[in-house]
Structure 1
């Protein structure tokens, strides 16, 4: 070991009464960070008794680009570091980290710094006094914004804009993830000079890509992509995601998860920021994400209540109350602006017979299959279970021809008199703008097909 001897480093680390290690940090020929090793540790650092001296730091700690950047700046730029962050998802504790530079006695290749940490099971509010004034001021301002009497989306847009400006990034967004509903939502966005619409960008990204982020953040509290080298590393783990980053000219990225009851419920997504400010930037984001998580959790809870109150759980389509609300809304809109629309009534005419002959469990399975078929065919339309065996469909974005094609497909797929069989009546209004009249016509046409079915299948229960 050149520059400073092992015994000197060992004596330094043994003076510390908290877990501590002396890290050697290599400076590569191009001036960037190279290999980082734990050259001397005290007994408390190991905890489990294994000897980790001489190993690279990621043999004991999670590999973290931000941590490497902090160690490099301490070892080579004489920068001190002190933070208190939520690492409960990784280790089950909050972590206070202290990093102190150590003179390397003129060594040109290897620098040294001392890493000290302290764990606490619960958040200790007093520890936040160690935060630098500018970071503390920003976090406080964020918390004040979260308490304002504004709707969720307005608040999140305000916070997101502040985060983008604080980090001097090109774009920032907040999104929620609902694993049980298999969807994600971009709830806010801020883009420098409004050069891009992130809602449009994410509209082309499938849920599976967002779902893959959970594995990427499982070994860290925050995903950081600093440069092309990091990008290539993540490309091997999540090629589909990295392809979308390259397509949108993303050069660096921070992805911070929102945690609630040990589950990921959303993310803070920041791109193209000043990498030289990474340490300060990441500390801020981790603290802001901690406070945002509770707001996001509350929003998801309320949103689920609304969804459940309007959802028919047997079929996965919306219920009659939701239909009545939508019809009232459309009646008012169409009165103001007459635009074409289509409606259909579909009667699951086999349900009563299946319930009687096979039991209600079979009937519930039949309803589930029927609902799935409707959702697959009319996926961009409004689908309702308007009665026990009756379903209504309202389409405001289909042409008359395309709606007829959907109805034709439904007739082909729901044509099994022993299981899923729909009798269907539909009507397209091109000029009148009278949704109640259109629904009455569609219902009358469906009744005619129903009578034909009973005539041809006399054994079925009416």
Structure 2
């Protein structure tokens, strides 16, 4: 009987003009998907499998005529990566009688986009084994015609999303609306969009939405504020062989834990057992993610299709946002030290001066000029001088964190503060004098001015600058060998 069934399935597979295999799908005692095996393959599947998955092996020792014996009866992941999403659609086709047609980006795994067709086979030889038919086509580039063949409700939602992205709202407002709509459409507990900055090892929650009926006292940003960057960075490794991560139960979490154990522990701590994660990939680099949790597994196909499509369109928006952020960063930040540059200082001085005229608020300013930098550059080289400048900036950030710190010139820094009393600001100045008093390395000439009535910022800066030069003269009087 078993042999007859195999012959029947072999004949069935060979009746199709696409690469085709009959898959045997095991059901575990807990109702989850067990082993998925190639049961019977057609000649086109054998040829495709031979060409695609033996390219890195010595094929001269493999007899092509009997190559089907290397495939049939074997686990599907014997020579290809194990893929929970693939197992899920096989299980649904074999055990739930679903006809499934999906077009997915499998370029990370195989270098191709894949169109998958699965159909149930009504037969039962064993009570824990069922069967489905699996066919596929491969495309080196995305076939937009196939990718756009989606259910009307999904296409309508994606079109609405695209229109929202093209409106006149600012970036964050548009992202908030898209995220809220996506959360509602998928009936998820949480939906969020986040971006990555790999250089600075940071991430930003661009937008978030949480189901209102749960009425929880925290937000998505609150949750992620306790998650270190290294966990978010581990997502890329988890995605190394797949183009999205779909978690539908604790079994999938256990599989994921082999690649990202710390992340999985964090998910379990927050009672997350259903999750969808799709990366934004721009020029081969992951620049952010679309992240959903708490959806009903019955909606898995709908969730997967819609988030992958939405992510496709969101990628360009996030990439453009990051590009504009980088331009703004480069135009305002001193690259060597990470504090504001002179261009930003001039802009802020104009803005602060106008604000002070309208509202006479107290403020403090200080100028801090490195003593002996030229001597270090001349004797030890400019790379050592650059290190001194960075050390100086780091000390200022440590002491004056929260204030506006600028690199006003090569060895000169300026500080503008609005939130300190005179006593508080002088206290910080004294700490700076104490920590930057090494005559052979980090030594600041410091001048400051406190304006209790908020008269003129530019005058205050001139007074502070004059005091700084007096302090510098005292330094060179004590250390004439350091004079420039």
TM-score w.r.t. length of structure 1: 0.90
1:125-140 equivalent positions in 2, closer than 5 A: 125-140=144-159
1:388 Cα offset (Å)? 1.9
Q: C-alpha distance in 2, partners of 1:301/1:369?
A: 29
Aligned to 1:34: 34
Match of 2:136 among 103, 114, 117: 117
Given that residues 363 and 454 in structure 2 are in contact (C-alpha distance below 8 angstroms), is that contact kept between their aligned partners in structure 1? no
* Aligned residues: CA RMSD: 2.8
Given that residues 109 and 241 in structure 2 are in contact (C-alpha distance below 8 angstroms), is that contact kept between their aligned partners in structure 1? yes
1:435-446 equivalent positions in 2, closer than 5 A: 435-446=457-468
Given that residues 3 and 105 in structure 1 are in contact (C-alpha distance below 8 angstroms), is that contact kept between their aligned partners in structure 2? no
Bigger shift: residues 142-151 or 417-426? 417-426
Aligned to 1:420: 442
Question: Which is greater in Rg?
Answer: 2
Q: C-alpha distance in 2, partners of 1:332/1:232?
A: 59
Please state whether the residue corresponding to 2:153 is helix, strand or coil: helix
Aligned to 1:44: 47
Structure 2 CA distance for partners of 1:6 and 1:264, relative to 1, 3 Å: same
Point out where structure 1 has 5 or more consecutive residues left out of the alignment: none
Aligned to 2:105: 86
Match of 2:275 among 227, 238, 253: 253
Q: C-alpha distance in 2, partners of 1:191/1:156?
A: 14
Q: Deviations over 1:346-387 (max 9, x none)?
A: 111222222333343433343333334434444544321112
Q: Deviations over 1:111-138 (max 9, x none)?
A: 1112222111222221135312222222
Given that residues 27 and 109 in structure 1 are in contact (C-alpha distance below 8 angstroms), is that contact kept between their aligned partners in structure 2? yes
1:3-42 equivalent positions in 2, closer than 5 A: 5-41=5-41, 42=45
Q: C-alpha distance in 2, partners of 1:87/1:289?
A: 15
1:397 Cα offset (Å)? 5.4
Q: Deviations over 1:394-425 (max 9, x none)?
A: 34556766655654554454333333322233
Bigger shift: residues 201-210 or 75-84? 201-210
Please state whether the residue corresponding to 2:156 is helix, strand or coil: helix
Q: Deviations over 1:298-324 (max 9, x none)?
A: 111111111111122232322111112
Aligned to 2:350: 328
Aligned to 2:331: 309
1:249 Cα offset (Å)? 3.9
Structure 2 CA distance for partners of 1:144 and 1:431, relative to 1, 3 Å: same
1:386 partnered with 2:408: yes
Bigger shift: residues 154-163 or 263-272? 154-163
Q: C-alpha distance in 2, partners of 1:2/1:407?
A: 87
Bigger shift: residues 279-288 or 356-365? 356-365
Match of 1:167 among 166, 186, 191: 186
Bigger shift: residues 221-230 or 295-304? 221-230
Match of 1:271 among 277, 282, 293: 293
Match of 2:75 among 56, 59, 63: 56
Given that residues 172 and 269 in structure 1 are in contact (C-alpha distance below 8 angstroms), is that contact kept between their aligned partners in structure 2? yes
Aligned to 2:60: none
Bigger shift: residues 84-93 or 436-445? 436-445
1:258 Cα offset (Å)? 0.4
Given that residues 86 and 287 in structure 1 are in contact (C-alpha distance below 8 angstroms), is that contact kept between their aligned partners in structure 2? no
Q: C-alpha distance in 1, partners of 2:262/2:15?
A: 49
Bigger shift: residues 167-176 or 120-129? 120-129
Q: C-alpha distance in 2, partners of 1:95/1:89?
A: 11
Given that residues 95 and 119 in structure 1 are in contact (C-alpha distance below 8 angstroms), is that contact kept between their aligned partners in structure 2? yes
Q: C-alpha distance in 1, partners of 2:440/2:205?
A: 43
1:62-461 equivalent positions in 2, closer than 5 A: 62-105=81-124, 107-193=126-212, 195=216, 196-235=218-257, 237-334=259-356, 342-396=364-418, 406-427=428-449, 432=454, 435-461=457-483
How many residues of Structure 1 are paired with residues of Structure 2 in the alignment? 462
Given that residues 18 and 44 in structure 1 are in contact (C-alpha distance below 8 angstroms), is that contact kept between their aligned partners in structure 2? no
1:55 Cα offset (Å)? 2.4
Structure 2 CA distance for partners of 1:348 and 1:73, relative to 1, 3 Å: same
TM-score w.r.t. length of structure 2: 0.86
Bigger shift: residues 447-456 or 322-331? 322-331
1:336 Cα offset (Å)? 5.3
Structure 2 CA distance for partners of 1:173 and 1:400, relative to 1, 3 Å: farther
Q: Deviations over 1:194-238 (max 9, x none)?
A: 744223332333222222221111121112222233334444543
Q: C-alpha distance in 2, partners of 1:206/1:381?
A: 25
Given that residues 404 and 417 in structure 2 are in contact (C-alpha distance below 8 angstroms), is that contact kept between their aligned partners in structure 1? yes
Given that residues 378 and 406 in structure 1 are in contact (C-alpha distance below 8 angstroms), is that contact kept between their aligned partners in structure 2? yes
Q: C-alpha distance in 2, partners of 1:402/1:59?
A: 67
Q: C-alpha distance in 2, partners of 1:378/1:212?
A: 33
Given that residues 257 and 264 in structure 1 are in contact (C-alpha distance below 8 angstroms), is that contact kept between their aligned partners in structure 2? yes
